[in-house]
Structure 1
Amino acid sequence: MTVPTAAAPALLLAAVVLCSSSSATCDEVRDGVRRPVPAMYVFGDSLVDAGNNDFLSPPAPRARPPNGVDLPSLVRHRTGRFTNGFNLADIIAQQLGFEFSPPAYLSVTTPLSDLDLLRGRVGANYASGGSGILDITGNGSITLREQVQLFAETKARMIRAGLAGRESLDYLLAQSLFVISAGGNDFDAFDYGLPMSEAPAFIAAMVDTYINHINDCAAEVACCGGGKFNGEVGCSFATSLCADRDEYLFWDAVHGTEAAYRRAVHAFFYGTARDAEPVNLAQLVPTVVAVYSSSI
């Protein structure tokens, strides 16, 4: 299922692909919460990175404060998210009955979290800010190919651990939700096969095509940053920060606010074919019992 979405004032587009290998569900109960899927596995870029880049060396981008300014103290000790609060992966997970995104894979160092992962429960987040579909995209980030390899290694560890049994593990993985957010960063690396002299006109035409996606916004302005529309300087303690963050669509030059992501996830779950096709997530996972916030 492919859901196109405008990324930010920079007018990049990202493709968010949500998929499950089966429309059937486990509908399991854990910690008193009924969850339609046993686990969630996340791949992609900064729209869903839950902290992997915090463990990478420069020049991989890091979500430094004030990123995460609105996260609850439970997760704020390691921000990791390129927005003011929860990101797309978190909100999708919450809609499925989890507290937030499964843990960043590089942060899974405690016996308890590792045990959950090896049992095929909760899942893991392999996403890395700056990565793309192409291997050459991203500077120091975990490429999408490497993320998939990490998942393959995770499955091999699960099999070796034998905590779920091979047949049970295959079933759990088949019923899990796999979320992939990728494509936006590839615009910087992709070779369109055009002469450089034609690139400005091509980009201008592309911008004209996509500008309609944000025509409903009152103002094309980011919450955190500097320069024109707050989109010319990256978000940091040295730049301006809006106070009414729930009223902004853009957090910085390339990322949405938590409020914008909540609206997007609402469309992923309950939207028409214009928002999610061939089916929305509520149809893909028909036993979803989480009630989405009436404040949307």
Structure 2
Amino acid sequence: MATVQIVQEIIKFVRCFSFVTRLVDEFVSEIQVCDFIFLHDAFMARVKHGQRCILVDAVENAGEAERSMKLWRWLVLSYFFLAGDASKVPALFVFGDSTVDTGNLKQRSSLSLLMTNRLPYGRDFVPPGPTGRASNGKLSTDFLAEFLELPSPANGFEEQTSGIFRGRNFAAGGSGYLNGTGALFRTIPLSTQLDAFEKLVKSTAQSLGTKAASELLAKSLFVVSTGNNDMFDYIYNIRTRFDYDPESYNKLVLSKALPQLERLYTLGARKMVVLSVGPLGCTPAVLTLYDSTGECMRAVNDQVASFNSALKASLASLASKLPALHAMYGNAYDLLLDAVEQPSKYGFKYGNVACCGLGRFGGSSACSNLSNVCFSADEHVFWDLVHPTQEMYRLVSDSLVSGPPSMASPLNISQLIAF
């Protein structure tokens, strides 16, 4: 049988299995088969890799189920062998809180203060409608996925097999570095997010083999955006403020953050982006809480800035300790603070007034269908009482991708993915 006919038969066979249909449709055109040989009771395929032809398993004379899994593994491996130079980042993995949650919390809990599964949340999304994102539309990681020419990662706690090799989003609103943060709302702390990722790593290793899975993860990009709710817990929780002064509380959070970032490295992450906590003293919620006249609450921002400084230094120290780690600190704090204080500089009209909410700054209540909702969210830095608008998230993403060292340290994502 001619080589072309064999390839056609293999493709036809694999397409009988629905769980690989999408992957085959996307990648099979990229696979260049040199030829097939029969060796040790198995078909062997030599696949084009640069100027060479390498030998990979194709089909073994085994049961139908085993044979289908062999074909699955062969096609995926072939794609990554061939696309290594063309696709520097094969997958995007996301961890954190509501700044990057695309629906995980709403799947797991109905106790959240934010009704992100109802309009007006998601009103500017394409197509319009709530998605579980705490914004009027996209988040920074959605824009980042577009830059990487990847789909936005599927939610990591959904029961599905598609999209595994393109990344997953494990973030959950209300969570933090501390396990107790957001516990009242049954959120998913970072440690549990990492547990779920570890299961995914093991299943990926079973599908691809340990070496190929490790290579996939090493090329992938990992984003961690959390710590905001840990700081909010200090602001709102009287007992926490009684037990800790700002400095000791920051040290507590940092002591829990670093081991988890190191665990992510242990699980295979080599290109890691860790975002700062935002200027929480400027959020409509905090301005309302402290009955501000409009000025950001300095004491709150000072504590956050101190934590961010320690996080940045600790991340650099972690990278020096783990030579294979390329870690980037994303300074969302300064960008958001500047946008709040000088909104017109970024094309906004309102720096400290939420598009959706009640009260002077829109921070008296959570966004809902009973709230006052602005006509154009693009005129606002904040969408609701604590979360940015889609346009502000776009600016954050741009700063991570191509920003100077003051925004992305020691290098930005465009430079990071070159490694």
Aligned to 1:104: 155
Shift of 1:29: 5.5
Aligned partner of 2:122 among 65, 68, 71? 68
Residue 357 of structure 2 is aligned with which of 225, 230, 235?
225
- For 1:46-65, list aligned pairs within 5 A: 46-61=98-113, 62-63=115-116, 64-65=118-119
2:189 to 129, 137, 143: 143
2:299 paired residue number: 205
The one-letter amino acid paired with 1:276 is: A
Partners of 2:171 and 2:382 lie apart in 1 by: 21
4+ runs deviating over 6 angstroms: 208-211
Q: Name the Cα RMSD after superposition.
A: 2.6
Shift of the 212–89 alpha-carbon distance from structure 1 to 2, 3 Å rule, reads closer
For the structure 1 residues 27 and 215, does the alpha-carbon distance in structure 2 shift closer, same or farther, using more than 3 Å as the test? farther
Partner of 1:243: 375
Aligned to 2:384: 252
2:30 counterpart residue number: none
Residue of structure 1 equivalent to 2:200 = 154
**Structure 1 pair 186/168, CA: closer, same or farther in 2 (3 Å)?**
same
Displacement, 1:36?
Answer: 2.8
Alignment of 1:260-279 (within 5 A): 260-279=392-411
- Residue 39 of structure 1 aligns to which amino acid in structure 2? A
Q: SS of the residue aligned with 2:175?
A: coil
Contact 1:28 1:36 in 2 (8 A): no
1-structure distance, mates of 2:371, 2:212: 50
Name which of 146, 159, 165 aligns with 1:94: 146
Unaligned runs of 5+ in 2: 1-79, 235-239, 247-289, 291-296, 306-335, 344-348
User: Which protein shows a greater Rg?
Assistant: 2
Aligned counterpart, 1:127: 171
Identity %: 34
Q: CA deviation at 1:208?
A: 6.7
Deviation at 1:77, TM superposition (A): 6.3
Q: Which has the higher contact order (CA 8 A, sep 6+)?
A: 1
Q: Distance in 1 between matches of 2:81 and 2:130?
A: 31
Unaligned runs of 5+ in 1: 1-25, 288-296
CA contact (8 A) 1:27 1:37 kept: no
- Can you list the C-alpha shifts for 1:188-227, whole angstroms capped at 9, x where unaligned? 33546239xxxx9xx7523478795431125321111111
Equivalent residue for 1:36? Answer: 88
- Is the contact between residue 226 and residue 240 of structure 1 (CA under 8 Å) also seen in structure 2? yes
* Contact 1:224-1:251 at 8 Å conserved across structures: yes
Render the CA deviation track for 1:12-48: whole Å, top value 9, x for unaligned: xxxxxxxxxxxxxx79769xxx643010110000010
Structure 2 Cα separation of the partners of residues 250 and 58 of structure 1: 24
In 2: Cα distance, 1:46 partner to 1:235 partner: 14
CA distance in 2, matches of 1:252, 1:93: 24
Q: CA deviation at 1:172?
A: 0.3
Query: What letter corresponds to residue 90 of structure 2 in structure 1?
Result: P
Higher helix proportion (structure 1 or 2): 2
Q: Per-residue deviation at 1:105?
A: 1.4
Specify whether residues 208 and 170 from structure 1 end up closer, same or farther in structure 2 by C-alpha distance, changes over 3 A only.
closer
Measured after TM superposition, the shift of residue 57 of structure 1 is: 2.5
Judged with a 3 Å threshold, the aligned counterparts in structure 2 of structure 1 residues 166 and 77 are, in CA distance, closer, same or farther, namely farther
Rounded to whole Å, the distance in 1 between the matches of 2:135 and 2:205 is 36
Q: Residue type matched to 1:98 in 2?
A: L
The total of aligned residue pairs comes to 241
Compute the displacement of 1:78 (Å): 5.8
Normalised by the length of structure 1, the TM-score is 0.74
Residue 84 of structure 1 pairs with residue 136 of structure 2: yes
Q: Which residue number corresponds to residue 291 of structure 1?
A: none
